[in-house]
Amino acid sequence: MCGIIGYTGRSESLPVLIDGLKALEYRGYDSAGVAAAADGGLVVVKKKGRVAELEKAVAPRGFFSRCGIGHTRWATHGEPSDENSHPHCGGSGRITVVHNGIIENYLALKRELADGGVKFRSETDTEVIAHLVQKYYEGDIHKAVTAALGRLRGSYAVAALCADFSDTVIAASYHSPLIVGLSSDGTYLASDTSALCDRADVLYRMSDGETAILRPTGAEFYLDGKPVVKKAIERSWQYGGAGLGGAESFMLKEINEIPRALKKTADYYDGGFFDSERAAKTFAGVRKIFITGCGTAYHAGMTGRALIERIARIPAETDLASEFRYRKPLLRRDSLCLFISQSGETADTLAVARLSAGAGVRTACITNVPGSALAALCDFTIPTLAGAEIAVASTKAYNCQLLALYRLAFHLAYMRKRLSKSFYKENLSVLSRIPSAASAITENAYRDILPLAEKYKNGRDIYFLGRGLDYYTALEGSLKVKEISYIHCEAFAAGELKHGALALIERGTPVIALLTQGELKEKTLNSLAEAKARGAEIIGVGKTEYIADAGVFDGRLTLPDTPDLFAPLVSVIPAQLLAYYTARARGCDADKPRNLAKSVTVE
Ligand code: M6R
């Protein structure tokens, strides 16, 4: 949520900042701004709207600078507007800051500063930081930023610039990510690695409470006023080059990458990943697993719970991270808390990870960013190798999270001697065939799914229905449709329909029914017959034999032949594609849906 970029070096800073903001735009896109040290002062340009608007506004300003900071915003305090865009300046106009996160005590600080005569120009919490830095500035900008941060409660990633130090950027991070990058050309700062991989040779992730002084020749890190020696982020975990590569959108590109992402992730696990000593230590003697995540990751967790209970026979629960953190859960020493997060920086998930670590419980995470704050907090990290996911709607990361959960469930079952070696291997070999099943869907998507999207694009509602594992897939499908097409969409457990939701069904209401579980097929078909009798138009998604009934289905999306247990890995793909094509048919920007941003780093 919100993206920060910074640069100081030998090159002109403005193109670096604008390029960086474009790469980070998926983190927030309601306004953007830059500040650069030039001609003994600061030039600040900020604009409501996308980075492209900022680029147009910057071009005629005609200044040259080798040091600057930039920001792309997802509004928390104050509507998207030029005034509320970052950077924000202190009263002298010679100090400016950009900020991600939320300052919880900003109102008290604002009152204090206003009583001292400070005039505020925006409604943001960030402006408070700028004025505090100004207040504490006595010729040492690092000291002033450190003093200002000492007054804040909440979370922040901050970059500051002072006209008196025209080649220096000050950075600070607390519960909000910041990466520092070094190259022979200069020193960089960004909210995530994807903006820096192609520019910097070495990357460092700032830890909670750290500050950094960035100069053209390198960076110094400090914690509690003392210098810190940092370990670089492993190269293999840095995702770069996340360009469109000719695709019409990131979301479609990322759906089409599902087969490759699954294969890469499976190959990585095949290299003995789950056999490590660390894995053994994390999972030995675990009697209960608490799974948490948000949004799509939560849906993966719901499937994960079912898999772990069914395959490994370990009791498991799945909760939304935002609920779990206030639930006062009964965690015991033999519990394992498992977090799922594509980004590894979702605020609610991180809060639960901190809470669990504080309770002395074993922790593990499934994340697409192994160098993330979440991974740093956990005893054990199960990486997914989906590659950078840029579209706000999570797709390929979800399929890979599921794969990780299957592998974990089978591994736990094998460890607990509930699965013989040969059976264990047999299941892994089924998993190795999933990428080609996924390809079969993505390759025919245009033919099969586009007509449905055209048909339903002007509808008021779409419902997804499923039972057992299909219910969790239905939940994920409905999230995809609503978040990018803005059509009201809900998922129901098929058995629950007649307990209330059936009242919503009218003549022509589209119902996407998932049928991948043979043992539940008859029961789902009964629920569908009830919906059909009330006028629902039913599209079956499943194996040929499960959706053959001519009396029920108005349309069919046939899935490749995959054993029932493994179906969730592929049955979600038609839903992901339906969401995408429906959004496209309605003229919505699928990559950057309104009101949302990737990586929700505030509570
Ligand atoms: O990075 P995370 O997996 O922790 O993100 C969790 C959710 O914010 C995310 O899945 C969100 O729901 C997506 N927009 C869903 O497509």
Q: What is the pLDDT of residues 40-92, one digit of tens each?
A: 999 999 999 999 999 999 988 888 999 999 999 988 889 999 999 999 999 99
Query: What confidence score (pLDDT) does residue 371 get?
Result: 79
What is the whole-number distance in angstroms between the Cα of residue 279 and the centre of ligand 1? 26
Q: How confident is the model at residue 236 (pLDDT cuts 50, 70, 90)?
A: low
- For residues 75 and 452, the model is more confident at 452
Give, for 90, the enclosing helix (H) or strand (E).
Answer: none
The answer to whether 2 is a known catalytic residue is yes
The answer, yes or no, to whether residue 514 has pLDDT greater than 60, is: yes
Alpha-carbon distances of 298 from 117, 400, 416, rounded to whole Å: 47, 14, 26
Average pLDDT over residues 456-482: 97
Residue among 2, 89, 162, 294 flagged as catalytic = 2
The model's confidence at residue 372, banded by pLDDT at 50, 70 and 90, is confident
The pTM score is 0.91
Mutate to test the pocket of ligand 1, among 346, 395, 400, 595 (most ligand atoms within 8 A of CB): 346
From the CA of 493, how far away is ligand 1's center (Å)? Answer: 22
Q: Give residue-wise pLDDT tens across range 119-164.
A: 999 999 999 999 999 999 999 999 999 999 999 999 899 999 999 9
Which residue ranges have their beta carbon within 6 Å of ligand 1? 294-297, 341-343, 346, 349, 392-394, 479, 483, 599-600
- Using a pLDDT cut of 70, give the percent of the chain over it: 99
**What integer pLDDT is reported at residue 237 of this predicted model?**
57
**CA neighbor of 99 nearest in space, from 151, 37, 159, 21:** 159
Q: Is the pLDDT of residue 420 over 60?
A: yes
| Cis peptide bond N-terminal to 216, omega within 30 | no
Percent helix, percent strand, percent coil in the chain, to nearest 5: 40, 25, 35
Parallel/antiparallel/unpaired status of strands 288-293 and 316-320: parallel
Q: Which of 255, 394, 405 to mutate to test the pocket of ligand 1 (most atoms within 8 A of CB)?
A: 394
Let me know if 67 is a catalytic residue.
Answer: no
| Identity of residue 106 | Y
The residue whose CA is least distant from atom 7 of ligand 1 is: 295
Q: Which domains does the chain have, with CATH numbers?
A: 3-235 (3.60.20.10), 238-432 (3.40.50.10490), 446-590 (3.40.50.10490)
Average pLDDT over residues 484-498: 96
Q: Work out the average pLDDT over 387-411.
A: 97
Q: What separation in Å is there between the alpha carbon of 215 and the centre of ligand 1?
A: 35
Interval 188-223: pLDDT, tens: 999 988 889 889 999 999 999 999 999 999 999 999
CA 343 to ligand 1: nearest atom = 1
Please provide the average confidence, as pLDDT, over all residues in the chain: 95
Q: Model confidence over 271-309: pLDDT tens digits?
A: 999 999 999 999 999 999 999 999 999 999 999 999 999
Atom of ligand 1 minimally distant from the CA of 397: 3
Which pLDDT value is given to residue 198? Answer: 86
How far away, in angstroms, is 385 Cα from ligand 1 center? 16
Nearest-angstrom CA–CA distance, 412 and 308: 8
